[in-house]
Structure formats: structure tokens, C-alpha cells
Amino acid sequence: MAILQNVWWLLVLIGVMILIHELGHYWAARLFDVRVETFSIGFGPRLFGFKKGDTDFRFSAILFGGYVKMAGDQPGDEAASDPGSLQSKPRWQRLIVVFAGPFMNMVLAVAVLAGVYMVHYEKLPSNSSPVIGYVVPDGAAAKAGVHDGDRIVQIGNTVNPTWEDIAIKEAASAGHALSVWVKRDGQRRRLEVTPVLDQKSGLGFAGWAEESQVEIADVVPGMNAEKAGLRKGDLLVSINGQPVRSTPKLHDVITHGNGQAVQIVFLRGGQKHEITVTPAKSNLDGATQWMIGALPQMRTIVTQLPFPQAVRESVRQNIKGAALFYEVIKGIAERRMSPKSLSGPIGIAQASGEAAREGPTAFFELMAMVSTQLATLNLLPVPILDGGVIVLLLMEMFLRRDLSLQVKETITKIGFVFLMAVMVFAIYNDISKILPG
């Protein structure tokens, strides 16, 4: 049942983005009186649809994708001399027609995320300045000399970074030293942090976490945390006398205690309480671990943003998302990151199903993220993608003449083979993540 749900929500997610993307091309083409022959959701044989004017609006057999077929849009098309063909239009008009698809995906991402923020916007209760709340023992940050409480004031060339800036640098720098300036006890120190490659995600991992208030998201009925009096919403202050500044801290102390009772100080309704909890061994994802039966999470405040602020925050978040996606692609091309960070249709289907089961907010946030990535991907200067077509048009505008038909056909064939290879690898990558070993 979960697989069917995943497939359904994938079709919903991708269907909306394909529709918006192709509508961008369609509307721009009609704006310049380009004759559109086919508007298809999906590829391959026609399943059903209707014809309006010159355009066949249809659903095709392979639903993962879509296209708008315009008169004269292919090299060597006999309709190129037709006044209604794309090739008969000035290059600047053709440029707008091609760019309109990715642009509409950008608009969709901003609109969806702004709508979410007007209803549900989560933020940290305090200023999210980049203060280290946790350092993984023996991790890259620990080996570089990073301590709990350090404030990151510069990473690489980025001064006064946010945690989003830090996450992008960290993800894209596996195996490469990062210059990190921290402020500790009023002194500015320069450290060299070399993130390691996380085999599961394919991204760089430095082994640090931001400082935040930690609250109990839930307690497991019948386990020792509930019996000792811990409740959902309690704010953790310390465990065994050690301040709790991030979610991994609780797990670390319990794990390394090997079953010994822990002293937990927490706040409830502004009042401080102290309890003693004895961990018990429990099976989690096939592994036996010491647990007290409490799920910690970063404390956030849920609010609603007014429309102008929601749009600004949406634009900011989408720019950050596009930058991270670009860094991932760049890191893979430079062999600094693993291609395992790529997800294909199976991975997107899993994420779609999980987000839908979590609720509308999570699903729309995923839709905005994937729409941003789709726009960014389409604008890459790869033949057959919109970005590759844009580059060719810019070259022709600079040269003031058309490239030869043979060159265009060769570029198109290379682009098609490249995209098919990427798709096959992405599907293989998805399957390898699912299969054991």
C-alpha cells in the first residue's frame, strides 16, 4: 500500500510541476504567435486528450515528463520557414519561449512556499546565529579543534554566515579543507575543518550541530522516561550536569552511560524539575540501543507571516535551495562529492509519499524544493535542456548567424545520450539505497 501511495503522490508532485513548466513554454509561444502542435503530459504513445485550435492537448503513456511541440522547433524541421514556426521568430523571442518553462517553475516554488509561510512558519525562538551546540566526538570538527559554544564568524569567503550558508559549504566540501574562523572567549581563531563524505547521503559532513533549545517531541508509552514524569513539551536544561544545547547530546550521554541512570533537569511551565531515568535496551531499526523512551527535537515557534514577508522569505529560501543544488552538481563534476547524493524517480517517490503522510505543509515544502531544483537543472548548459538551448541561442546572437544543422543535430544527440545515462544512474542509485548492503 505504501508503494502505491508513493507512486500516486509522485505523479501529483511531478504532474503539477510538469504542467506549470510546459504552460510557461506554451504561453510564451502563443504570446509570439508560434503555432503549438502538441501539449503533452508524459512521453510516448497518446492515451487520451482533446484538440483545441492547432494544439493537441494530451496525456501520453510515460507520465514521468512532458513536452510542448512547436512548429519548427527541431533542427531541420520543414516547418522552419512557416511564419508560425519557432525558427521564424527573432532569437530574443525564442530565448523567452525557452526560458519561460524554468521561470514558471521558479514562480511555482516561490508561490507555494510563500503560501505555506502565510499559514505555518517555523523559526527558532532565539536568533539563529551560528553558535556550535554540539560537536561529534572524533568527528572532523572535533579533530580541527572546534568546541561547543564556538561562534562561527566566517567560513571560507563568507563573513557572518547563517547556518544555511554553513550547510552549503559543508555539503560541498567533502575531503577538502574549509577555513573556519570562530570566536571563543572573545578571541578570534582560525581552524581548518575537512568534512568527510557521508556514504549514505553523498554529502560532506563536518560533525557539528547548531545551538538551540531542545524540547521533548514525544515520549514512548510505558518506557522509563514516561514513568519518571517526562512529558511532551518539556524543555531540557541538562543531563548529568552537562548543558543540553542540541538534540544529539541526550542520545550521546545515554549511549555512553551503558545503562547507568541519568539525571535530567528540565523546564515545564517555567518551573525547573529534576528526575532520574534508567535507560533500557531497545531494538531500533535492527540495532539494540540504550534508550529512555523520549524523542528530543529543536524547539521552534510556529507563526504566520504576512504576505510581503512570506514572499521575501520564500525567495530567500528558494535561492538558498538553488545554491545548494548547484553546489552539489558542481561538487559531483569536480569529484568532491559522491553521485549518491542524486535522487531519481524512486527516491522522489519515497520522499513524496513520506511528505504526504506527514501532512500538507511537508508536501508543499517538498514541492517547492523539487520545483526549484527542476528549474535549476533545466537551466544548466547541457544540450537538449532549456539551458543548453539558451546557450546556443546566445552564441547565435553573438555570431549573428545560425549554427549549421549538422552541429545542432550532433549537440542534440549528445545531450539526449547524456540525459539518458544520468537517468539510468539515478534509478540505479535509488535501488542501491533500498537494497541491503
What domains are there in the chain, each with its CATH number?
2-118+365-434 (no CATH), 132-209 (2.30.42.10), 214-298 (2.30.42.10)
Cα–Cα distance measured from residue 232 to residue 294, given in angstroms and rounded to the nearest whole number: 9
The residue type found at 160 is N
Number of other residues whose CB lies within 10 A of the CB of residue 202:
21
Specify the pLDDT at position 416.
79
> What's this model's pTM, rounded to 2 decimal places?
0.80
CA 173 to chain centre: 17
Specify the pLDDT at position 336.
67
Cα–Cα distance measured from residue 137 to residue 41, given in angstroms and rounded to the nearest whole number: 51
Specify the pLDDT at position 404.
78
Specify the pLDDT at position 1.
67
Specify the pLDDT at position 153.
93
Specify the pLDDT at position 32.
93
Specify the pLDDT at position 266.
92
Tell me which residue of 40, 70, 42, 66 sits closest to 54, measured CA to CA. Answer: 70
Specify the pLDDT at position 343.
74
- The region that residue 23 occupies, defined by phi over 0 for left and psi between -120 and 50 for alpha, beta otherwise, is alpha
Going residue by residue through the chain, which has 437 residues, state the pLDDT in tens, using 9 for 90 and above: 677 888 788 888 888 888 999 999 999 999 999 999 999 988 888 989 999 888 999 988 877 778 888 887 776 665 556 788 888 889 999 999 999 999 999 999 999 999 999 999 988 776 557 899 889 888 899 999 999 889 999 998 889 998 888 988 888 888 888 999 999 988 999 999 999 888 777 788 899 988 888 999 889 888 888 898 899 989 999 999 888 888 888 888 888 888 889 999 999 988 999 999 988 887 766 667 888 888 898 888 889 999 999 999 999 999 988 888 887 777 777 766 666 667 777 788 888 888 888 889 999 999 999 999 889 988 988 888 899 889 989 988 898 888 777 887 788 788 778 777 777 777 777 777 666 55
Tell me which residue of 120, 48, 37 sits closest to 365, measured CA to CA. Answer: 120
Residue 38 pairs in a beta bridge with 56, 69
- The vertex-315 CA angle with 312 and 320, nearest 5°, equals 125
